[in-house]
Chains A and B, each alone.
Chain A
Amino acid sequence: ETGVTQSPTHLIKTRGQQVTLRCSSQSGHNTVSWYQQALGQGPQFIFQYYREEENGRGNFPPRFSGLQFPNYSSELNVNALELDDSALYLCASSPPGGSSYNEQFFGPGTRLTVL
Chain B
Amino acid sequence: EDQVTQSPEALRLQEGESSSLNCSYTVSGLRGLFWYRQDPGKGPEFLFTLYSAGEEKEKERLKATLTKKESFLHITAPKPEDSATYLCAVGDGGATNKLIFGTGTLLAVQP
A: residues with CB less than 8 A from B are 4, 6, 33, 35, 40-45, 48, 55-56, 58, 88, 90, 92, 99, 102-109, 111
Contact = CB atoms under 8 A, between A and B. Distances in A.
B43 A103 contact: no
Contacts of B99: 33, 35, 43, 45, 92, 104
Contacts of B104: 42
Contact of B96 (A41, A42, A43, A56): A56
B91 to A, nearest CB: 5
Given A42-B87, A42-B101, A111-B41, A106 B96 contact: no
B45 A106 contact: yes
Nearest to B31: A102
B46 A105 contact: yes
Interface residues of B, number: 27
Contacts of B103: 40-42
Given A42-B103, A88-B41, 14 more contacts: A33-B96, A33-B99, A35-B99, A43-B87, A43-B99, A55-B95, A56-B94, A58-B98, A102-B32, A102-B49, A102-B91, A104-B46, A109-B41, A109-B43
Q: Does more than half of chain B's interface fall in helix, strand or loop, or is it mixed?
A: loop
A45 to B, nearest CB: 4
Contacts of B96: 33, 45, 48, 55-56
B101 A103 contact: no
Contacts of B34: 103-104
A105 B89 CA distance: 13
7 contacts: A45-B96, A48-B96, A56-B95, A102-B31, A103-B34, A106-B44, A106-B46
B43 A108 contact: yes
